[in-house]
């Protein structure tokens, strides 16, 4: 699933070298954490969140076909506050 998310994210953003994906195993399945450059965050989210919803749907369908469960989370790295 991690490779699928990397492929989709790199195809959508302007800075594909800044796409970072980590897969964290949980009790009910895997959580796939997606990080992109701040300037590309809007492209991943899309209008009204349609693109990220589509990515989640694709990953959910692919993982269900394998008999597993996976969710995608878009991680926002906020700069530390002084």
Please give the model's pTM, rounded to 2 decimal places. Answer: 0.86
Range of the domain at 26: 2-74
- Residue identified by tokens 């749907």 is 57
Q: pLDDT tens digits, the chain, 82 residues: what are they? A: 899 999 999 999 999 999 999 999 878 889 999 999 999 999 999 999 999 999 999 999 999 998 889 999 999 876 555 5
Which phi and psi (to 5°) does residue 36 adopt?
-135, 170
**Residue 79 falls inside a structural domain:** no
| CATH number for the domain harbouring residue 12 | 3.30.300.20
User: How many whole angstroms separate alpha carbon 42 and alpha carbon 34?
Assistant: 13
Please say whether the beta carbons of 34 and 54 come within 8 A.
no
**Residue 32 falls inside a structural domain:** yes
**Residue 52 falls inside a structural domain:** yes
Domain count, the chain: 1
**Residue 81 falls inside a structural domain:** no
């Amino acid at each position: 699933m991690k490779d699928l998310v990397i492929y989709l994210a790199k195809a959508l953003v302007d800075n594909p070298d800044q796409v970072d994906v980590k897969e964290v195993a949980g009790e009910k399945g895997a959580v796939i954490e997606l990080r992109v450059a701040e300037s590309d965050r809007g492209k991943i989210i899309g209008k009204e969140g349609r693109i990220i919803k589509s990515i989640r749907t694709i990953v959910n369908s692919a993982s269900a076909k394998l008999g597993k469960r996976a969710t995608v989370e878009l991680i926002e790295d906020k700069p530390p506050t002084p």
